[in-house]
Amino acid sequence: MKKLVIHGGRRLSGEVTIGGAKNSTVALIPAAILSEDPVHFDGMPDILDVYNLQLILESMNVSSTFQDGQLMIDPTQIVEAELPSTAIKSLRASYYFMGSLLGRFGRATVTFPGGDNIGPRPIDQHIKGFEALGATVTEANDTIHIVAENGLKGAHIFLDMVSVGATMNIILAAVHAEGVTVIENAAKEPEIIDLATFLNNMGAKIRGVGTDTIRITGVEHLGSETTHTTIPDRIEAGTYLSLAAAQGDGVLVKNVIPEHLEAFISKMIEMGVELDVREDSIYVPKSDKLKPITIKTAPYPSFATDLQQPITPLLGTIPGTSAIHETIYPERTRHVPELNKLGMDISTEEEGIIEINPSHELHGTEVAAEEIRAGASLVIAGLMADGVTEVTNAEHVLRGYDRLIHKLTMLNADIQIEDDF
């Protein structure tokens, strides 16, 4: 295991460039096995999730190389194989191999995915989608078997709740299904548009992404020699915007699509951060005299659940009580006791309601990153705190934050990574 060691209290300034979106990347890599040609990606983030997905590809005889954001995947020699359960368990999004293997071979056997503990994360809507397409799904020994004996047939699927994963998984399975599949109440996240753009450029017929009705007309072949550039990570961007407002003396966050962050940006402006939103970057000046706000997380385009923890240390600098209503994962509060150890004053008396009171002084201590965004909030609080903060379980953070140490160091932070025995 690794830990992050932060000597906090330094003011941050300069520029940071956002990497490719983790939540696109982790769908694009499984999607690559649907191609009949080698696939090239650009702007891929250097995160642990990518390396674990490469291990899963390798087990299927799919070779890949990854350097400087360029990822090449060659699925031309793919074979059906048992997938490595340690890698599958290391991230949530390994469940996209259910959809892509089903699309490619008409069957898939995948261990239940792992990933961060942020409360219950059922996949009933994914399964409902596969079944609607004509597959039989059975579960045994922590493994899901999905078989479409008579091939996949287009279907009309109404999702009971808006799910990013189910929307993407159904798209992956349906691109080769016979006929038309319609997904109603689909998720509208930008990462879904990114996945559909990649697949459409290979010959898929996916229409309506970004709205709540997606229509997929099955095609027989997918493949292309063009390079797909991943969209910037809006959650990483929001994390640096929060950090800059809390501890910065002027930070320019580059490679951002501001339209993907509208709910987040409007909340920052509402609290009084004088953001300068440019075409593909956002400047955050030194911020003071901020006002408390209330936030409600909900599916895109509303405020993202993945940004509620990163914004929390900033809310603690404001005189007055701010509140977050976490509607997607009401139990996603594992950062709260750890932030309180650093001196924050946060309460969660009612499930799903997080109240942040002003914290007077933060002091470094040892805290544990229980999940990726909890870890991000601890890194931000550690950079604000006096003294030394050690964030253990750093893998949770590194699985989704591109070149974290380098980027923070360039902003004048004092942060190292060490082995934690």
Residues that bind ligand PEP (CB under 6 A): 91-93, 115-116, 118, 306, 372-373, 400
Nearest distance, CB of residue 308 and ligand PEP, angstroms: 10
Which residue in 46, 116, 233, 402 is the catalytic one? 116
In this structure, what token pair is assigned to residue 280? Answer: 């593909």
Residue 306 labeled ligand binder: yes
331 binds ligand UD1 (CB under 6 A): no
Q: Are strands 156-158 and 136-140 parallel, antiparallel or unpaired?
A: unpaired
Residue 163 partner contact from ligand PEP, ligand UD1, none using kind-dependent CB cut-offs of 5 to 8 Å = ligand UD1
Residue 81 partner contact from ligand UD1, ligand PEP, none using kind-dependent CB cut-offs of 5 to 8 Å = none
Residue 116 partner contact from ligand PEP, ligand UD1, none using kind-dependent CB cut-offs of 5 to 8 Å = ligand PEP
Q: Is position 116 annotated as part of the catalytic site? A: yes
Question: Cα–Cα distance between 79 and 310 in angstroms, integer?
Answer: 41
Nearest distance, CB of residue 305 and ligand PEP, angstroms: 7
Query: Which residues, 6+ apart, have CB-to-CB distance to 315 below 8 Å?
Result: 271, 292, 293, 322, 324, 356
Q: What DSSP assignment string belongs to 138-192? A: EEETTEEEEE-TT--B--EEE-SS--HHHHHHHHHHHTTSBSEEEEES----HHH
Q: Are strands 70-74 and 39-42 parallel, antiparallel or unpaired?
A: antiparallel
Residue 373 labeled ligand binder: no
For ligand UD1, which residue of 136, 161, 213, 269 counts as binding (CB under 6 A)? 161
Nearest distance, CB of residue 117 and ligand UD1, angstroms: 12
269 binds ligand UD1 (CB under 6 A): no
Question: By the 8 A CB rule, do 334 and 370 touch?
Answer: yes
Place of tokens 């009401």: 330
Question: Cα–Cα distance between 279 and 394 in angstroms, integer?
Answer: 33
Nearest distance, CB of residue 190 and ligand PEP, angstroms: 14
281 binds ligand UD1 (CB under 6 A): no
CB-side neighbour CA atoms (13 Å) of 97: 29
Residue 303 partner contact from ligand PEP, ligand UD1, none using kind-dependent CB cut-offs of 5 to 8 Å = none
- Which amino acids are annotated catalytic? 116
- Write out the binding residues for phosphoenolpyruvate: 22-23
- Write out the binding residues: 22-23, 92, 121-125, 306, 328
